[in-house]
């Protein structure tokens, strides 16, 4: 064998041939499509059907929202055109109502300011690179809710014109309900989850009963109870604000769900973590706050966000108790004044859906980002 | 060689670190520990051996009240363990524990793992706690890992961090529950080296381990447990060369091949 490599054999090549490019079929877009979309006859058929469905949906959407949409007009008449799409001037005309409800126009700056401050604080709190989380967290979770309430409601010591909560509406109300529900339910849910795992029988049973009671009832019922039945139990003359009643209902309802999600996270924490904390002499609160919760909450971010998205959409149910949220405002405006045309309700609901989607999609993306970021990935 | 080491490790004649009398423990109907009696003097190093399920872990976990005993008395550093939470906390502050599976806190860096308890339990200022932590990281020979997370370290390194974490609380007594049995062979030595060093510095130690080389080198007593009882205890040389009990002989023949 070794001998033949020395001797020169006429049919053995002496120089290496340059590398040839990989066959076209396995590389680039064509290759990708081959392996992923057209790998078999069945797959090819599915691909073609899906492509057709996507095409039809996108084409329809495009045509409705832009292609055959009406962009200018002063009343329903302009939109009563055969085969026309969205009626955007209607949204433009009723926009303020959809965003602010019956809030007085001269005072729009108050919800605007609240929203801007809230957005800035949330941004500071939610961006990991920005330091000072204790401060931004405290401001957003403790100071902001009260400041926001007094700024938007006015009256009393504020020196601002009083705007009773019955006048709040539209997207503004939706955000008030959603943000309060999400933020206020979180600590309650965590406490309930911890309580449910407590070794003290009384604490444990109270938490179990509370959680199971609220989870066993539809939100609609909760809201009904809050607005119709709660006043019956309270002493005569106490007039609880309708919005506050709804907020309490939504918060406690969500807290029960949060509790179960958090409990799942607590269960996933290895027993050794508790033992290590105990062995170091930490007490229950130190171990829970410093060791168990940080790990458990990280595990349940997807579940919490899922709950939040769910709640954000369920805020539309407050219309049951006479509050006019974004969807309610859209609905109410589809038949008012001159704005009547077949395309107008569709446009309104399309607009509402778009706003809901933007908010929920943002939440969902943010949770994915946080999940990736928090994943130190290295478990013991 | 073992002799010189023994001499430098002084055992107190008068100060009792742990005293256990007539102690028994049950899981439901199952009697895990039966009438345990022993005394550990300050500076003593005790190795506990025995077959799986004999109650070794349960015994040392009773010493810092990770498990509760039902009968008899356990006195650690002058504090008797009862349901008195204050006493329990006091004992836990004086007793360090190292686990088979390290149990480091995966969401914290090594430095944070080491300083958490000193800062929150002992109320040490952060800066001072970090200096102490660095000192112990140097002692276990991994100061350069301070800013990493536990998951980024090898098993041997994690166990050394776990030892350092306990030491940062400045304990009087250290408990080890099979500290090397979750480790690959090449990492066992680096952990044992740290433990030998600790013994030489006079730490009172109780180690559940099957590392008989370690027992010979540092222990001044080996206890053999079977079915919840201490059935034999002796100095390492005697224990290995001249076991009394049938079960001990059988066990030793298995682990020493
Ligand atoms: N929480 C528990 N509930 C019921 N039985 C238990 C519990 N923990 C341990 N046991 C039982 O008690 C006995 C002693 O367990 P222990 O963990 O102390 O043994 P060990 O000597 O440490 O064994 P190993 O060498 O396998 O670690 C075993 O039979 C075990 O099954
Ligand atoms: Mg064990």
ipTM: 0.92
pLDDT at A312: 92
Distance between A274 CA and the closest CA of chain B, angstroms:
9
Question: DSSP characters for A54-89?
Answer: HHHHHHHHHIIIIIT-B---SSHHHH--TT---BHH
How remote is the CA of residue A182 from the centroid of ligand 1, in Å? 44
Q: Does an H or E element contain A88, and which? A: helix A88-100
Structural fold of domain A84-103+176-373: MetI-like fold (1.10.3720)
Tokens coding A164:
């009773």
The answer to whether the CB of B27 is under 6 A from ligand 1 is yes
The answer to whether the CB of B209 is under 6 A from ligand 1 is no
Provide, as residue numbers in chain B, all residues whose Cβ is less than 8 Å from the Cβ of A377. Answer: 151
pLDDT at A241: 82
Secondary structure class of B221 (helix, strand, coil): strand
- Across the interface, whether the CB atoms of B117 and A282 are under 8 A apart is answered yes
pLDDT at A74: 83
| Ramachandran angles phi, psi of B59, nearest 5° | -60, -50
pLDDT tens for chain A, 380 residues: list them. Answer: 444 445 567 777 777 777 776 666 666 788 888 888 888 888 899 999 999 999 999 999 999 888 888 888 888 888 888 888 888 888 888 899 999 999 999 999 999 999 999 999 999 988 888 888 888 888 998 899 899 999 999 888 888 888 988 889 999 999 999 999 999 999 999 999 999 999 999 999 999 999 999 999 999 998 988 877 777 777 776 667 888 889 989 999 999 999 999 999 999 999 999 999 999 999 999 999 999 999 999 889 889 988 999 999 999 999 888 899 999 999 988 877 778 888 888 999 999 999 999 999 999 998 888 888 877 554 43
| Ramachandran angles phi, psi of B121, nearest 5° | -90, -45
| B24 neighbors B67 (Cβ within 8 angstroms) | no
Spatial distance between the Cα atoms of A266 and A268, rounded to a whole number of angstroms? 5
How remote is the CA of residue A286 from the centroid of ligand 1, in Å? 28
User: Strand locations in A219-341, DSSP E?
Assistant: none
Provide, as residue numbers in chain B, all residues whose Cβ is less than 8 Å from the Cβ of A290. Answer: 116, 120
Residue of B94, B105, B150 to mutate for A, most A C-beta atoms under 10 A: B105
Low-confidence ranges of chain B (pLDDT < 50): 1-7
Residue with the nearest Cα to atom 28 of ligand 1? B53
| A263 neighbors A196 (Cβ within 8 angstroms) | yes
- Across the interface, whether the CB atoms of B102 and A380 are under 8 A apart is answered yes
Q: How many CB atoms lie within 10 A of CB A375?
A: 9
Residue with tokens 């290995």: B240
How remote is the CA of residue B162 from the centroid of ligand 2, in Å? 17
pLDDT at A23: 63
- Across the interface, whether the CB atoms of A295 and B106 are under 8 A apart is answered yes
Indicate the top mutation candidate among B30, B51, B58 to test ligand 1's pocket, ranked by most ligand atoms within 8 A of CB. Answer: B58
Q: Under 8 Å CB-to-CB from A74, ≥6 apart: which residues?
A: A89
How remote is the CA of residue B55 from the centroid of ligand 1, in Å? 6
For chain A, the domains span 84-103+176-373, 104-162
- Across the interface, whether the CB atoms of B89 and A283 are under 8 A apart is answered yes
- Across the interface, whether the CB atoms of A280 and B169 are under 8 A apart is answered yes
pLDDT at A25: 60
pLDDT at A3: 47
- String of b and e for A326-340 (b: at least 16 CB within 10 Å)? bbbbbbbbbeeeebb
pLDDT at B257: 63
Residue with the nearest Cα to atom 12 of ligand 1? B32
- String of b and e for A100-115 (b: at least 16 CB within 10 Å)? bbebeeebeebbeebb
The answer to whether the CB of B124 is under 6 A from ligand 1 is no
Distance between B112 CA and the closest CA of chain A, angstroms:
11
- Largest pairwise CA distance in chain B: 55
Q: What is the β-pairing status of strands B71-76 and B79-80? A: antiparallel
- Across the interface, whether the CB atoms of A378 and B120 are under 8 A apart is answered no
pTM beyond 0.95, yes or no: no
Residue of B66, B96, B121 lying closest to A275 (CB–CB): B66
Secondary structure class of A211 (helix, strand, coil): helix
Nearest ligand 1 atom to the CA of B50 is 21
Between CA B59 and CA B66, with CA B63 as vertex, the angle to 5 degrees is 85
Provide, as residue numbers in chain A, all residues whose Cβ is less than 8 Å from the Cβ of B65. Answer: 278
Residue with tokens 């990280």: A298
The answer to whether the CB of B49 is under 6 A from ligand 1 is no
Residue of A272, A280, A294 lying closest to B107 (CB–CB): A294
User: Strand locations in chain A, DSSP E?
Assistant: none
Burial class (CB in 10 A: 0-12, 13-18, 19+), B141: middle
Spatial distance between the Cα atoms of B79 and A124, rounded to a whole number of angstroms? 49
| A252 neighbors A184 (Cβ within 8 angstroms) | no
Spatial distance between the Cα atoms of B92 and B171, rounded to a whole number of angstroms? 9
pLDDT at A86: 87
- Across the interface, whether the CB atoms of A298 and B152 are under 8 A apart is answered no
pLDDT at A22: 65
Chain A residue set in contact with B, beta carbons under 8 Å? 270, 272-273, 275-276, 278-283, 286, 290-291, 294-295, 298, 376-380
Spatial distance between the Cα atoms of A207 and A2, rounded to a whole number of angstroms? 82
Provide, as residue numbers in chain B, all residues whose Cβ is less than 8 Å from the Cβ of A273. Answer: 103, 105
User: Strand locations in B88-157, DSSP E?
Assistant: 95-98
Distance between B188 CA and the closest CA of chain A, angstroms:
18
Between the two ends of chain B, the Cα-to-Cα distance in Å is 24
| A240 neighbors A234 (Cβ within 8 angstroms) | yes
pLDDT at A251: 93
Residue with the nearest Cα to atom 26 of ligand 1? B52
| B129 neighbors B168 (Cβ within 8 angstroms) | yes
């Amino acid at each position: 064998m070794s001998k033949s490599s020395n001797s020169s054999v006429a049919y053995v090549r002496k120089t290496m041939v340059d590398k040839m490019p990989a066959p076209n079929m396995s590389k680039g877009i064509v290759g990708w499509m081959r392996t992923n979309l057209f790998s078999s006859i069945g797959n090819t058929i599915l691909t073609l059907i899906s492509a057709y469905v996507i095409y039809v949906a996108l084409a329809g959407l495009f045509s409705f929202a832009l292609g055959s949409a009406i962009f200018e007009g002063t009343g329903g008449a302009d939109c009563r055109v055969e085969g026309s799409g969205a009626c955007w001037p209607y949204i433009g005309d009723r926009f303020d109502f959809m965003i602010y409800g019956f809030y007085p126009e001269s005072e729009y700056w108050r919800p605007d300011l609240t929203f801007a401050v809230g957005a800035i604080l949330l941004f500071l709190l939610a961006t990991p690179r920005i330091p000072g989380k204790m401060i931004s967290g405290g401001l957003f979770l403790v100071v902001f809710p009260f400041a926001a309430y007094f700024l938007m409601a006015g009256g009393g010591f504020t020196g601002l014109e009083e705007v009773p909560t019955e006048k709040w509406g539209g997207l503004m109300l939706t955000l008030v309900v959603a943000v309060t529900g999400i933020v206020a339910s979180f600590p309650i849910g965590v406490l309930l989850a911890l309580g449910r795992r407590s070794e003290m029988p009384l604490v444990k049973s109270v938490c179990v009963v509370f959680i199971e009671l609220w989870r066993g009832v539809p939100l609609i019922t909760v809201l009904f109870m809050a607005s119709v039945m709660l006043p019956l139990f309270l002493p005569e003359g106490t007039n609880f604000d309708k919005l506050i009643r709804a907020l309490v209902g939504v918060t406690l309802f969500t807290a029960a769900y949060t509790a179960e999600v958090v409990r799942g996270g607590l269960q996933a924490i290895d027993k050794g973590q508790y033992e290590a904390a105990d062995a170091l002499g930490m007490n229950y609160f130190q171990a829970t706050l410093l060791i168990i919760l940080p790990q458990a909450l990280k595990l349940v971010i997807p579940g919490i966000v899922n709950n939040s998205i769910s709640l954000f959409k369920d805020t539309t149910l407050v219309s049951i108790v006479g509050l006019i949220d974004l969807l309610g405002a859209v609905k109410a405006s589809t038949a008012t004044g001159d704005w009547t045309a077949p395309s107008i309700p569709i446009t309104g609901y399309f607009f509402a859906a778009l706003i809901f989607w933007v908010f929920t999609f943002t939440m969902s993306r943010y949770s994915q980002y946080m999940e990736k970021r928090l994943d130190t990935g290295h478990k013991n | 060689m073992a002799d010189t080491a023994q001499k430098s490790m002084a055992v107190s004649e008068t100060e009792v670190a742990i005293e256990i009398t007539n102690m028994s423990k049950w899981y439901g109907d199952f009697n895990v520990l039966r009438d345990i009696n022993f005394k550990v003097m300050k500076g003593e190093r005790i190795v506990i051996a025995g077959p799986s399920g004999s109650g070794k872990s349960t015994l040392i976990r009773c010493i810092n009240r990770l498990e509760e005993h039902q009968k008899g008395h356990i006195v650690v550093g002058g504090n008797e363990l009862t349901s008195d939470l204050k006493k329990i906390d006091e004992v836990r502050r004086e007793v360090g524990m190292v686990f088979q599976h390290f149990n480091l806190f995966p969401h914290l860096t090594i430095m944070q793992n080491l300083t958490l308890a000193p800062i929150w339990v002992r109320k040490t200022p952060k800066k001072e706690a970090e200096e102490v932590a660095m000192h112990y990281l140097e002692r276990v020979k991994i100061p350069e890992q301070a800013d990493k997370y536990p998951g980024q370290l090898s098993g041997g390194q994690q166990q050394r961090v776990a030892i350092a974490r306990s030491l940062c609380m400045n304990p009087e007594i250290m408990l080890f529950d099979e500290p090397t049995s979750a480790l690959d062979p090449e990492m066992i030595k680096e952990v044992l080296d740290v433990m030998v060093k600790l013994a030489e510095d006079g730490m009172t130690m109780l180690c559940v381990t099957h590392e008989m080389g370690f027992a010979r080198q540092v222990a001044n007593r080996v206890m053999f447990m079977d079915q919840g009882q201490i059935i034999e205890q002796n100095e390492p040389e005697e224990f290995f060369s001249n076991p009394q009990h049938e079960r001990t002989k059988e066990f030793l023949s298995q682990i020493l091949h």
